[in-house]
Amino acid sequence: MSQITKIALEQSLKKLLKNKPLDKITISDITEDCGISRMTFYYHFKDIYDLLEWSFSKDADTILKGKKSYQTWQDGLLVVFLSLRENADFTRNVYSSMSRDVLERFLYKLTKNLLLDVVKEESAGLVVKDEDQEFIADFYKYAFVGILLDWIRFGMKDEPQFMVKKLGMMLEGTFRRSLENLSLGKD
């Protein structure tokens, strides 16, 4: 029952976010929409941002499933773009609210999760410190999220397939090259 309640609250929040920014939505709006008491809301979440982060985290688990290797990272990134576009009103209203950092943190966590697996896979046969692998994943994470945020800010007009293809062409071989440059066997 607990999971069903959380999902009902999530669905109400997403429904409300189609029409107004996050900072204009109250807990009462959410609980009235799904017919749940405020006490029940607070049993599951401390505030709206907690609900939003839970929702993002839950979605992240399904978005990247099986798409975190060097061969599939472009598929993973494409799914992120498509998911944001599919939920365009939701995405825009979270992005344009005062709590845009919740969206940014979600995107950073999601892309880091994707990229760290790619970096670890590409480091096969090299001796690269864990912190250097983290550094490389962070570098690409900031690039990817910057592109995603600009794409959202400018209305999500460019086709995700085109953007991911362009990124793939630009980054071909750079993960491995970065790892080779930071490997311990390098002078």
What are 133-180's pLDDT values in tens digits?
999 999 999 999 999 999 999 999 999 999 999 999 999 999 999 999
> How many whole angstroms separate alpha carbon 187 and alpha carbon 175?
19
- Go through the chain and tell me how many residues it has: 187
Domains and CATH numbers, the chain: 1-47 (1.10.10.60), 64-182 (1.10.357.10)
pLDDT > 70: what percent of the chain? 97
| Residue type (1 letter), 163 | M
15: DSSP letter:
H
CA dihedral 28, 34, 36, 42 (to 10 degrees): -60
What are 25-70's pLDDT values in tens digits?
999 999 999 999 999 999 999 999 899 888 888 877 777 777 777 7
Contact status, residue 93 vs residue 21, Cβ threshold 8 Å: yes
What are 5-14's pLDDT values in tens digits?
999 999 999 9
